Structure 1
């Protein structure tokens, strides 16, 4: 089972985290299942950029980006070549190192 190493984030996981992921699940689902509260304001429907992450290692093992995800990523804060929406990035067989950006463009939060 592949692991996702989440680099430290000042609010979401200050110490960082290492979680197990099932091949075929998204980075977002794996993190949420392990209690890592990645923002996902559109309920993981690929309609916002709040779950934006940067995949520092293992990027090539993920599924390919589709056109909708590419278009949304253009609006993400801190976009990098290895950026993905964690709700759309499907884990393969390789371990990943993932950074959650410090900021997000969030027009509506699921936290009330």
Structure 2
């Protein structure tokens, strides 16, 4: 099992969390499986950016992003060099520290702050 440390997020995980993920699963599925209800509007098909996360530690251990993912990430709110779509980021053997951005494109569009 691989440890994922989720940094605090005001709505989804106010106190942060430490979860155990199975290598080979996606970060999104791992978060959802541990009760962290990260948004995934396209049902994890790499068609939106609502599951965007920033991988603060362990980024190099993830699978490489595809060109489709890279193109979508350009539209993500709060994009950083270590940004990934959690539905496409496959957990490896190294521990991860993940930050869920405060906003998504959907939240901004729906007027949520």
TM-score band (shorter)? over 0.9
* Corresponding residue number in structure 1 for 2:70: 70
Residue segments in structure 1 that go unaligned for 5+ positions in a row: none
Superposition misfits of 4+ residues, deviation over 4 angstroms: none
C-alpha separation in 2, matches of 1:41 and 1:18 = 24
Alpha-carbon distance, 1:98 to partner:
0.1
Residue segments in structure 2 that go unaligned for 5+ positions in a row: none
Count residues in correspondence: 109
- TM-score of the pair, normalised by structure 1: 0.94
Residues 6-45 of structure 1: matches in 2 within 5 Å? Answer: 6-45=6-45
Alpha-carbon distance, 1:61 to partner:
0.1
Residues 58-97 of structure 1: matches in 2 within 5 Å? Answer: 58-97=58-97
Query: RMSD of the TM alignment (CA)?
Result: 1.4
C-alpha separation in 2, matches of 1:18 and 1:100 = 14
Q: Which has the higher helix share?
A: 2
Alpha-carbon distance, 1:23 to partner:
0.3
* Corresponding residue number in structure 2 for 1:50: 50
| Residues 40-74 of structure 1: CA deviation (Å, up to 9, x unaligned) | 00000000000000000000000000000000000
